[in-house]
Structure 1
Amino acid sequence: MIFLSINSLSLPIEDPVLKFLLVLVIILSAPLLLNKIKVPHLLGLIIAGAIIGPNGFNVLSRDSSIVVSGTTGLLYIMFLAGLEIDMGDFKKNKWKSITFGLYTFSIPLILGVLLAHFVLGFTMLSSFIFASIFSTHTLISYPIIGKLGLVKNRVVNIVVGGTMITDVLALLILAIVVGITQGEVNAAFWTKLIISFSLFSVIVLFLFPIISRWFFKKVNDKISQYIFVLVMIYLAALLAELAGLEAIIGAFFAGLALNKLIPHTSALMNRVEFVGNAIFIPFFLISVGMLIDFKVFLKDFETIKVIVLMTSVAVLSKYLAAAFTQKTFNFTKLEKNLIFGLSVSHAAATLAVVMVGYNIIIGENELGEPIRLLNESVLNGSIVLILISCTLSSFSTQATGEKLVLEDSEESLTEDYQLEESILLPINQEEIVEPMVNLALALKSKLNIDQVHALNIINDSETAGSEKKSDKILGSAVNIAASTDIKMQSLKRYDNEVMKAINNVIKELKVSDVIFGLETKKGFSPTFIYNLYNSKINENNTNIFIYHAAQPMATIKKYAVIIPPKSQHDSGFYHALVRLWNMAKNSGSKMNFITTEKIAEILKKILNKSNIECEFTIVEDWKSIENIIQNINNNEGFIAFMKQSKAASYISSVNDIPRMMNQYLMDKNYLLIYPYNDNSSFAENKFVSNHDDYYKIGEIIGKLFKA
């Protein structure tokens, strides 16, 4: 038996096993204890770090192991901010992000310079680097937003974009001030800075996606994919440092680069978020707490004055930036409070600025002591600022976020348009299990966590080995779904008539959508098409999706989406459109809608309520479909809204698409959608009472997409 030595129990604890155990106990207990008293667990982790740290009871030292883990957590926060940002909404709101970024940078900078130069008597050089402390902020309460399900909220997107802008500008000031103190601010300095930043941006934003797309297409091992993501985070952080920027900017850019390659509903995304929120981010919060020294309140009056002034100006300036943003864009009071809650916290970038300023010695006093660009009072003040701002950020974000979630819940509960969603995946081949499950996860609403079903049909005449094969197929589907926290139901049926068995299950479970998967090398067969058109599945008010996956969905850059004329008159069109919108949101792929002017007008109204990345190609001659299909490039996919021959909007050329798929797209991803048609009049459709009322269509569908 191995016993801990007496030395390992002395303070600070040095034994690695005991150190890691203690940190894990804190990470475990903080949320459990603090949730009961409505205190954000992020704050608890920071306070715990202060208590056990070198400035507290000195239980643990802030050594290299804590610093490395904490740095990873900080990079993780910035990476997740870039990874989870909705690129469609980000592009739609980019000017709002820029405006907020300029507000949250310039207002604190101006107030900080006035405070430092005219109140504290700092030199102008010290005043600028001092003021840049207030301009920066760290998204320390971003994990709270993630747990509340608000990461796609427009205000969150704006704050994330603004964070990148203000931190880059603040750190740019830091680089300039350092250059001035070293006498290096000249044409060569500016040229080097511009070139290095440009090269960094090109490498991360353009080269990283190419490398990552190739890797995800070639490597299916889940562990290797996750390690690859970590490599990309640290590589981008290193490149940022080489470019003269802070590592956090590199991590954020890495998130943007991989944004479209890690679908929000994928198992990889679930792993990235899980490991970050469980280990790395808590380590970062504890490491921040270890910097806090409560004894600074007992020091000289000058330190206390600096602390009070720094904290007041930091909080006031961020509140003013949020208020200015609210007034500029007519945001609600709750949205203003959420902006303030997210942007008021200071941690990572603040520490970077303070430590650089503190370590720059610009001379000596009469006693031979070093004169620093930022003195010890500012260093202590920044530590207290971190504690107070993170506390305020945690409480404000938690309270405001809960109110916003409650508002959305109340709105959705009063809606009569909520879809009853149940998705069925008939699967008979193991190779198509993963792509079919991934498609189902992309199509479903975020509220649907247990209404996805995997079905396998066993022919009565088949051998006993068929049952083992069935169990393996269904088990694989259930496991893939479980890795994304979705509870998939597995179903096994014995029947000699496959389509009849599927139809019976659809009736039993009231299935809204059924997804058929095609084997990669076989594509459509005449038998499959015949059985499909004679299955009567559409008569159950069920949309049919036929999916062919030649490569992972996450690697598809863009889809060509064909929507034939008068498709909006099919009863299931809007149900199917919701699924397509979910797919665009969750995969991040761009949609090129190839359709008529009238349908494009409907889609544009929907975009006002739920934005995705898309473009429109208006066509009148539907005989050109074959040319469109032939021009599908690598890493692009094809989607088509199909018709049954009995449908009023049937076009004969659309019926020829399966033949074109086999001829041109055997090595491409494609999805054929058959909206159901119950032959009821369009005026009776539950979504709209007047098919010309496009604004109402957009509003209703937009609300559906929130679910």
Structure 2
Amino acid sequence: MNDFFSDMTHEFALPFTNPVLIFAVLLAIVLLAPLLLKRFNVPSIIGLIVAGVIIGPFGLNLVDNNHQGVSMFSTIGLLYIMFIAGLELDLNEFISNKNKSLVFGLFTFILPLSVGFPVCYYLLGYDLSASFLTASMFATHTLVTYPIVSRMGVAKNQAVAITVGGTILTDTAVLIILALVLSGNDGGLDLAFLVRLLISLVAFSSIVFLLIPRITRWFFQQAEGEKYLHYIFVLFVVFFCGFLAELGGIEPIIGAFAAGLALNRLIPHSSALMNRIEFFGNSLFIPIFLISVGMLVDVSVVFDGPATLLIALTLTVTAIAGKWVAAFFTQVIFKYSAIQRNIIFGLSSSHAAATIAVIIVGYNAGILDEYILNGTIILILLTCIVASLVTQKSAKELAISQENAPLSDSDLGAFAQEKILVPIANPSNIGHHVELALLMKDRQSVNSVSLLGVVPNNEEAEKNIVSFRKQLEEFVQNAVAADIDVDIVTTIDHNAASGIVRTARELMCDIVILGWPGKTGMLEKLLGDKVDLIIKNIDRNMFICHIEHELFTHKRIVVVSPPLVEREIGFDLWLQKVVELSKELSVPILHLGHPDTQAVIAAKKNSGSLFSFKTFVDWHDPLSCGDHIREGDMIIFVSAHQGYLSHMSILDNLPTRLEERFPHHSRIVIYPKQRTMRGLLESDDSLFVPSNF
């Protein structure tokens, strides 16, 4: 009995050493903190940080932040935040606004440094090295509040993009300053250090941005059937890049961010893999990192005397003021709204990982004293709280403003209740049509993506329906993993074409995605004019697709459209779908067409910036557009039928001709919706498909 009580006492001795018990405590906090604070409308991030203060070595001492398990999960969480920031970054938006990221990066580095140095040197009375190093700490920031903007659905806003881009610039600059100050403190600036750093950066960039994407593309293709291996591989890339950064004398957070950028184009934002990455990060790794940040805070230093409290408050006010001034000047120069300014300030005002790294290294080197160290710990807590409150409020306001943005009549009609139908001819060879539908689907639509199977009307009909549904279960599971609703629709008809026509009308679909005639899809036995006939009878936006390669391997989308296409009813919808596909795959769009069409596209607020334009007028030979087609391009041709504004007889039988001209490219032919619903109902007989079709 005595041994039993002795064992129990040992297990619950403080701090806990049993890894199972430690993990249970951390999970309990991750579970309960958001639920408790939600009642008071307090961001969960604050709850996790405060919980870390309570259970940490300076609180109840339940968990020691030096424990290997806590340290490991904390490191994973920090790298995860930076990785997701790079992964979710809209590269098209980032590239088009790279100068804005550079300007913000300079502001958020120089202004806090300029404000902080005189405060430390003249007001607090520190020497040159200590003042400069402490002031550089003000320039750092950690994207602690990034999960808030991600959860609110505003991570693709331009203000978020330039803040994330500026983060990597300012943190890299501060870490270089740290190395230079330490080198100078050791007896002289070592120029060899700069040479080694430059060589390391070149080697690191070559491996991460040239080699890793090629390996990842190959691995994803080889392990296509083992989806869980994709996630394991992604984790490996994150930590391998972090380790490479450390080898080169760079902080591992830089490596994790670079890994996110390198994999950005290979992981569509609406894919099941992206959902898994965010799920594990937001539910486990990132919360434990936030708890570990709180465990660094020693609230008792406030009571050590007025000097500590004065320095802590001075550092905190200076850090917050410097970041606010940087956000303000960014707003003024780029004419951002007050909400966007607050988003920038909220994301860039929290100090954690890089800050504590700078201060601890400076303290261990004898440059900084314990007052600066303790004051920085308080600064971390206060700035994280301020940043969380500001980001939560501004991200919510931005999300509401985006939802309430006025929509045109075409927007309301096309996207409010968008419905996509994907006819499947052979469930065992479904191709990439369902994946294409999932990437293009409007997330605000409450309707699911419907997979349609048409079975012959014979004695085997019921058996074929059951078989069809069973074979599609795997694809439904993949869609559910990506948080997209998919349903299976089966119907009985004498022929597949009439079944598609009837079902599309019954479900009131906006988009029908068909396989390429003669290769895959429901129309594989139909040729030429029969393809044209079925498209005419389905008065919907038709996408006839042949995806030659994995979607994530495409490097560019090339859209070719005839003159006057902008006047067709379905123009806005197909344009928006192409833009959505571009964003998901993080690839640019080249438009070949008439200048009037290009002017309309360029004027579109949410899409024009993604396009580059080249005038194309050789409609006597439309396939001469091949002069502009490169390897890795996805070709999208927009066509129309006789009797409509943009119809050109030279484009008849386009799918067959495209297959002959571009056999090794992915290609999509779009037939936009060109009749109103009133006209559709009035011409009811036009939907009849003969039984011998």
Normalised TM-score (structure 2)? 0.91
- Counterpart of 1:305? 310
Question: Any conservation in 2 of the 1:563–1:641 contact (CA below 8 Å)?
Answer: yes
The Cα of 1:288 is off from its aligned counterpart by 0.8
Deviations 1:484-510 (A, max 9, x none): 111112211111221212222222221
Moved more, 139-148 or 463-472: 463-472
* Superposed displacement of residue 538, structure 1: 4.4
Could you tell me which runs of 5 or more consecutive residues in structure 1 were left unpaired when the two chains were aligned. Answer: 361-371, 683-707
In structure 2, how many angstroms separate the alpha carbons of the residues matched to 1:553 and 1:443? 12
- Residue aligning to 2:532: 533
How big is each residue's C-alpha offset from its partner over 1:134-185, in whole Å with a ceiling of 9 and x where there is no partner?
0000111111101111001111111111111111111111121122223462
Asked whether the 8 Å contact 1:571–1:677 carries over to 2, the reply is yes
1:428 matches 2:425:
yes
Do structure 1's residue 622 and structure 2's residue 622 form an aligned pair?
A: no
CA apart distance, 1:57: 0.6
| Structure-to-structure mapping, 1:16-415, within 5 angstroms | 16-62=19-65, 63-183=67-187, 185-220=189-224, 221-360=226-365, 372-412=366-406
AA partner of residue 594 (structure 1): L
1:320 CA displacement: 1.1
Percent of aligned positions that are identical: 37
Give the letter aligned to residue 487 of structure 1: D
Do the aligned residues in 1 keep the contact of 2:516 with 2:655 (CA within 8 Å)?
no
Report the counterpart of residue 488 of structure 1 in structure 2: 486
Question: d(CA) in 1 for partners of 2:475 and 2:446?
Answer: 14
- In structure 2, what is the Cα distance between the partners aligned to 1:70 and 1:520? 54
Residues 626-654 of structure 1: per-residue CA shift (max 9 Å, x gap) = 34448754432211112223434222332
Matched, 1:417 2:422: no
Residue 611 of structure 1 and its aligned partner are, at CA, apart by 4.9
Does the CA contact (< 8 Å) of 1:560 and 1:639 recur in 2? yes
Measure how far apart 1:39 and its partner are.
Answer: 0.5
Deviation at 1:623, TM superposition (A): 4.3
Change in Cα spacing, 1:625 to 1:658, as seen in structure 2 (3 Å) is: same
Could you give the per-residue CA deviations for residues 206-226 of structure 1, whole angstroms, max 9, x where no partner exists? 322222222222221211111
CA spacing shift, 1:184–1:103, aligned 2, 3 Å: same
- For residues 518-553 of structure 1, the C-alpha deviation after alignment (integer angstroms, 9 at most, x for no partner) is 499658856154443222x54554101112122221
| Alpha carbons 1:217, 1:552 under 8 Å: kept | yes
Q: Is contact 1:539–1:678 with CA below 8 Å preserved after alignment?
A: no
- Between 179-188 and 473-482, the greater mean CA deviation after superposition: 179-188
Q: Distance in 2 between matches of 1:409 and 1:522?
A: 39
Contact in 2 for aligned 1:539/1:676 (Cα 8 Å): no
Alpha carbons of structure 1 residues 653 and 569: separation in structure 2 relative to 1, 3 Å: same
Partner of 1:650: 647
SS of corresponding position for 2:667 = strand
The one-letter amino acid of 1:160's match is V
Decide whether the 8 Å contact of 2:602 with 2:608 is kept in 1: no
CA shift in 2, pair 1:637/1:308, >3 Å: same
Q: Tell me how far 1:681 sits from its aligned partner.
A: 13
CA distance in 2, matches of 1:630, 1:527: 30
Q: Is the counterpart of residue 13 in structure 1 residue 16 in structure 2?
A: yes
For residue 367 of structure 1, what is the aligned residue in structure 2? none
Question: 1:538 touches 1:676 (CA, 8 Å); kept in 2?
Answer: no
Q: Which residue of 2 aligns with 1:695?
A: none
Distance in 2, Cα, partners of 1:339 & 1:630: 43
Aligned-partner residue type, residue 508 of structure 2? K
The 8 Å contact of residues 428 and 473 in structure 1, kept in 2 or not, is answered as no
Q: CA deviation at 1:408?
A: 2.4
Match of 2:542, SS state, is strand
Check the 8 A contact 1:560/1:637 in 2, yes or no. yes
Deviations 1:310-357 (A, max 9, x none): 111011111111111122222222221221111110011101111211
Q: Give the C-alpha shift of residue 612 in structure 1.
A: 5.0
CA contact 2:602–2:609 (8 Å) conserved in 1: no
Q: Match of 1:534, SS?
A: helix
Shift of 1:593: 1.2
SS in 2 for 1:594: strand
Which residue of 2 is the match for residue 701 of structure 1?
none
Q: Helix, strand or coil: the match of 1:373?
A: coil
Pick from 656, 665, 668 the counterpart of residue 668 of structure 1.
665
Q: Give the Cα–Cα distance (whole angstroms) in 1 for the partners of residues 486 and 195 of structure 2.
A: 56
Query: TM (normalized to structure 1)?
Result: 0.90
Q: CA deviation at 1:108?
A: 0.9
In structure 2, how many angstroms separate the alpha carbons of the residues matched to 1:530 and 1:309?
78
In the alignment, structure 1 residue 517 sits paired with structure 2 residue 511 = no
In structure 2, the residue matched to 1:363 is none
Q: Distance in 2 between matches of 1:617 and 1:631?
A: 9
CA contact (8 A) 2:557 2:635 kept: yes
User: Would you say the 8 A contact 2:576–2:607 is kept in 1?
Assistant: no
SS in 1 for 2:24: helix
> Do the aligned partners of 1:89 and 1:611 also contact (CA within 8 Å) in 2?
no
Indicate the SS of the match to 1:585: helix
* Equivalent residues of 2:528, 2:653 under 8 A apart: no
- In structure 1, the residue corresponding to 2:452 is in which secondary structure? strand
Change (3 A) 1:327 1:649: closer
1:301 Cα shift? 2.4
| Contact 1:512 1:541 survives alignment (8 Å) | no
- Does 2:487 correspond to 1:467? no
- Given that residues 454 and 477 in structure 1 are in contact (C-alpha distance below 8 angstroms), is that contact kept between their aligned partners in structure 2? no
Task: Say whether the 8 Å CA contact 2:513–2:543 is kept in structure 1.
Answer: yes
Instruction: Flag the 1:622–1:491 CA change in 2: closer, same or farther, 3 A.
Output: same
- Please tell me the residue identity of whatever aligns with 1:391: I
Could you tell me whether the CA contact under 8 Å between 1:581 and 1:612 is conserved in 2?
no
Letter aligned with residue 133 of structure 1: M
In the alignment, residue 53 of structure 2 is paired with which amino acid? A
Offset from partner CA, 1:189-236 (integer Å, 9 cap, x none):
222222222222232223222222222222212111111111111122
Q: Which runs of 5+ in 2 are unaligned?
A: 680-693
Contact 1:427–1:473 under 8 Å retained in 2: no
Residue identity in the other structure for 1:92: S
Q: Secondary structure at the match of 2:444?
A: coil
- 1:606-621 matched pairs, under 5 angstroms: 606=604, 608-621=605-618
Which residue of the partner structure matches residue 498 of structure 1? Answer: 496
* In structure 2, C-alpha distance between the alignment counterparts of 1:429 and 1:248, rounded to whole Å: 46
Secondary structure of residue in 2 paired with 1:637: strand
Would you say the 8 A contact 1:630–1:664 is kept in 2? Answer: no
Residue 263 of structure 1 deviates from its aligned partner by: 0.7
| CA pair 36-539 structure 1, distance change in 2 beyond 3 A | farther
Q: 1:604 to 1:437 in 2, by over 3 A?
A: same
Distance in 1, matches of 2:98 and 2:391, equals: 22
